[in-house]
A and B are shown apart, each in its own frame.
Chain A
Amino acid sequence: MIDGFSNTTLSISNLKVAVGPHSVVDGVDIDIRKGEIVALVGESGSGKSLTALSAMGLLSGRVGQSGGEIKLNGQTINPQDEVEMGRLRGTRLSMIFQEPVASLNPLLSVGEQVAESLVVHGRATKAQAMERAVQMLADVGIPEPEKRAKQFAWELSGGMCQRVMIASALIAEPDLLIADEPTTALDVTVQAQILDLMRRLRDKTGTSILIITHDMGVVASIADRVCVMYGGRVVEQAEVHQLFKAPKHPYTKLLLTTIPKLTDAPKQDLYSIKGMVPDIADFPEGCRFRTRCPLADKQCVKTPPLQPRKTFDDGLVACWHSELTETLQ
Chain B
Amino acid sequence: MRGDMDATDAPLLQVKNLKVHFPSGSKGLFSEQQLVKAVDGVSFMVHAGETLAIVGESGCGKSTTGNAILGLAPVTEGQVTFRGQDIARLSPDERSRMWRNLQVVFQDPVAALNPKLTIGNSIAEPLAINGVPRAKQLERIVELLDLVGLNPSQKDRFPNELSGGQRQRVVIARALALEPDVIICDEPVSALDVSIQSQILNLLMKLQRELGLAYLFISHDLSVVRHIADRVIVMYLGHIIEQGPAEVLFSNPRHPYTEALLSAIPLPDPVAERSKKRVLLEGDLPSPLNPPKGCPFVTRCPIREERCAEAKPQLVQDENNREVACFLR
Interface residues of A (CB under 8 A from B): 43-44, 143, 157-160, 187-193, 195-196, 214-221, 223, 240-241, 244, 254-256, 258-262, 264, 266-267, 269-273, 276-277
Q: Is B196 an interface residue (CB 8 A)?
A: yes
In the complex with contacts A221-B273, A276-B165, A264-B227 CB distance below 8 A:
yes
In the bound assembly, the distance between CA atoms of A261 and B267 in angstroms comes to: 8
Do B274 and A157 touch across chains, with their CB atoms under 8 A apart? Answer: no
B227 and A266 contact, CB distance less than 8 A: yes
CB distance from B166 to the nearest CB of A (A): 7
- Is B270 within 8 A of A241, CB to CB? yes
* Distance A175 CA – B199 CA, assembled complex (angstroms): 40
Q: Given A266-B247, A267-B228, A276-B163, decide whether A218 and B266 contact each other with a Cβ distance below 8 A.
A: yes
Residues of chain B within 8 A (CB-CB) of A256 are 268
Using Cβ atoms and an 8 Å threshold, which residues of chain A touch B224?
Answer: 260
The size bracket of the interface on B is: 35 or more
Stretch from B35-43, B172-180, B275-283, B313-321 forming part of the interface with A: B275-283
Find out whether the CB atom of A220 lies under 8 angstroms from the CB atom of B267: yes
**With A193-B280, A266-B228, A267-B227 in contact, is A221–B198 under 8 Å at CB?**
no
Whether A276 contacts B166 by the Cβ 8 Å rule is yes
Contact partners of A266 in chain B: CB under 8 A:
226-229, 246-247
**A217 and B265 within 8 A (CB):** yes
Q: B269 contacts the other chain (Cβ, under 8 Å)?
A: yes
Q: Which residues of B have CB within 8 Å of A264?
A: 226-227
- Determine whether the beta carbon of A217 is less than 8 Å from that of B284: no
Interface residue B11 (Cβ < 8 Å from any Cβ of A): no
Q: Which of B274, B280, B283 has the most CB of A within 10 A?
A: B283
When distances are taken between beta carbons in the complex, the residues of chain A under 8 Å from B206 are 269
Q: Nearest 9 A-B pairs (CB), nearest first?
A: A217-B266, A187-B57, A270-B198, A216-B268, A43-B193, A260-B227, A192-B264, A272-B198, A188-B264
Complex Cα gap A255–B195 (Å): 6
Of B228, B265, B268, B269, the most chain A CB neighbours within 10 A belong to B268
Chain B residues contacting A241 (CB-CB under 8 Å) are 270-271
Least distance between B261 CB and chain A CB atoms (Å): 6
Give the chain A neighbours of B220 by CB distance below 8 A. 187-188
Q: What distance in Å separates the Cβ of B222 from its nearest Cβ neighbour in chain A?
A: 7
Shortest CB-to-CB span from A174 to chain B, Å, is: 25
- Cβ contacts under 8 Å, A223 to chain B: 270
A196 to B264, CA, bound (A): 11
In the complex, chain A residues whose CB is within 8 Å of the CB of B285: 157
State A270–B278 Cα separation when bound (angstroms): 27
CA distance in complex: A216, B278 (Å) = 18
B194 at the interface (CB under 8 A from A): yes
Most buried by B among A217, A258, A260: A260
B205 and A269 within 8 A (CB): yes
Residue of B nearest to A192 (CB): B264
Determine if B194 and A259 form an interchain contact, defined as CB atoms under 8 angstroms apart: yes
B158 is an interface residue with CB less than 8 A from chain A? no
A255 cross-chain contacts in B, Cβ below 8 A: 194-195
Contacts of A218 in B (CB 8 A): 266
- Bound-state CA distance A270–B224 (Å) is 10
Q: Is the CB of A43 within 8 A of B195?
A: yes
**Distance (Å) between the CB of B117 and the closest chain A CB?**
22
Which residues of the partner chain B approach A196 to less than 8 Å between Cβ atoms? 280
Q: Is B154 an interface residue (CB 8 A)?
A: no
* Residues of chain B with a CB closer than 8 A to A44's CB: 164, 193
Q: How far is the CA of A217 from the CA of B201 in the complex (A)?
A: 19
Asked whether, in the complex, the Cβ of B58 is within 8 Å of the Cβ of A187, the reply is yes
Q: Are the CB atoms of A188 and B261 closer together than 8 Å?
A: yes
Chain B residues with Cβ under 8 A from A190's Cβ? Answer: 57, 284
Q: Is the CB of A220 within 8 A of B223?
A: no
Q: B250 an interface residue at 8 Å Cβ cutoff?
A: yes
Using known A-B contacts A190-B284, A260-B198, determine if residue A220 contacts B247 with beta carbons closer than 8 Å. no
Q: Does B260 contact A (CB under 8 A)?
A: yes
Interface string of B195-236 (1 = CB under 8 A from A): 111110110011000000000000010111011110000000
CB-CB under 8 A from A220, the residues of chain B are 266-270, 272-274
* Bound CA–CA A254/B229 (angstroms): 24
A217 touches B227 (CB 8 A): no
- Mark each residue of chain B from 274 to 306: 1 if its CB lies under 8 Å from any CB of chain A, else 0: 100010110111000000000000000000000
CB distance from A38 to the nearest CB of B (A): 14
Q: How far is the CA of A240 from the CA of B250 in the complex (A)?
A: 27
B267, B269, B272, most chain A CB atoms within 10 A: B269
Cα separation A12 to B131 with both chains bound (whole Å): 60
Contact with A along B21-60 (1 / 0, CB 8 A): 0000000000000000000000000000000000001100
CA distance A53 to B226 in the complex (A): 36
B198: chain A residues within 8 A (beta carbon): 258-260, 270-273
A-B contact pairs, 11 of them (CB 8 A): A43-B195, A143-B283, A187-B220, A188-B265, A189-B281, A190-B284, A241-B271, A262-B250, A269-B205, A269-B206, A276-B166
Q: Could you say which of A159, A189, A219, A221 has the most chain B C-beta atoms within 10 Å of its C-beta?
A: A189
Cα of A159 to Cα of B58 in the assembled complex, Å: 11
